[in-house]
Structure 1
Amino acid sequence: MSDDPLDRLRRLCLDLPEATERLSHGEPTWFVRGKNVFVSYADHHHDDRLAFWCAAPPGTQEALISSDPDRFFRPPYVGHRGWLGVWLDVPVDWEEIAEIVVDAYRVVAPKKLVAELDVRH
């Protein structure tokens, strides 16, 4: 597996049922059925930080940021809706990232696709 964070994130996202990728706001972004965003790569501010933003279950954003503010943050634009920012330019636990991505998918995917995911995992 590649060490490139974008490649790794892409594989995690596209492994989910009916997930697609296209550019949104100039960044790779992953959608459920081409409509609902669940993860967006975040390198567009070119501030020497690399991250992704994702949908998150209620309370997750606050819990993760308070437990580890060096790895998690409240992203601009979507943070007020509970979305989570995850830094990728720090030591990354890719198993944890996989769980975060699946949780993001579950937040936005229709029940039928969540059920399909449950059968696969």
Structure 2
Amino acid sequence: MAQPQPPQFLVDKLRLICLDLPECIEEQAWTGTRWTVRTKNFAHIVMIDSGWPPAYAEAAGSAGPLCVLTFRTPRPAAETPRFGRAPFFLPRWWPDIVGMTVDEHSDWDLIEDLLVASYCALAPKRLAAQVAALRG
């Protein structure tokens, strides 16, 4: 059985955000697509379908079909109340990881802000400072 893939238009939207960040690399992950800075994964899009992949289906509370994006926060995600309600969810595999459902109706300005913060939380200080200076 082929692994479900995220819709290409969502990958393309995320690509525009992520590849604008210094030293970002896009790669195929074990499922879906991820973006890294210095081998640290700051964004990962995955398609859940028929309960696969099970860790994501359990975290999102859905067997799918559903497309989800995970990213990092600069603090434990549970400290931010908004991440405890839709469209967000809290996977339990890292304390600073957040998931959210994404589709054509998602708030892409918010997603950009969240992904830039995720990048800056994991990037070397010099790269994070460069991004902060460019974004004012």
Coarse TM-score class (shorter-chain normalised):
0.7 to 0.9
Which residue number in structure 2 is paired with residue 39 of structure 1? 43
- Partner SS, residue 40 of structure 1: strand
Contact 1:71 1:90 in 2 (8 A): no
1:56-99 residue CA offsets vs partner (Å, 9 max, x unmatched): 12144542223xx2210012534xx2200011037311110000
1:85-120 residue CA offsets vs partner (Å, 9 max, x unmatched): 011037311110000000100110000101111121
Q: Which amino acid aligns with 2:72?
A: A
Q: How does 1:71-90 map to 2 (within 5 A)?
A: 71-75=87-91, 77-78=93-94, 81-89=95-103
1:36-72 residue CA offsets vs partner (Å, 9 max, x unmatched): 1111112153720111101112144542223xx2210
Equivalent of residue 15 in structure 1, options 20, 38, 41: 20
Structure number with larger C-alpha Rg: 2
CA distance in 2, matches of 1:75, 1:60: 9
* Structure 2, unpaired ranges of 5+: 1-7, 54-63
* Structure 1, unpaired ranges of 5+: none
Percent of pairs identical after alignment? 26
TM-score by length of 2: 0.74
User: How large is the Cα RMSD of the aligned pairs?
Assistant: 2.1
Q: Which has the higher contact order (CA 8 A, sep 6+)?
A: 1
TM-score by length of 1: 0.82
Contact 2:10 2:104 in 1 (8 A): no
- The number of aligned residues is 114
Which residue number in structure 1 is paired with residue 122 of structure 2? 108
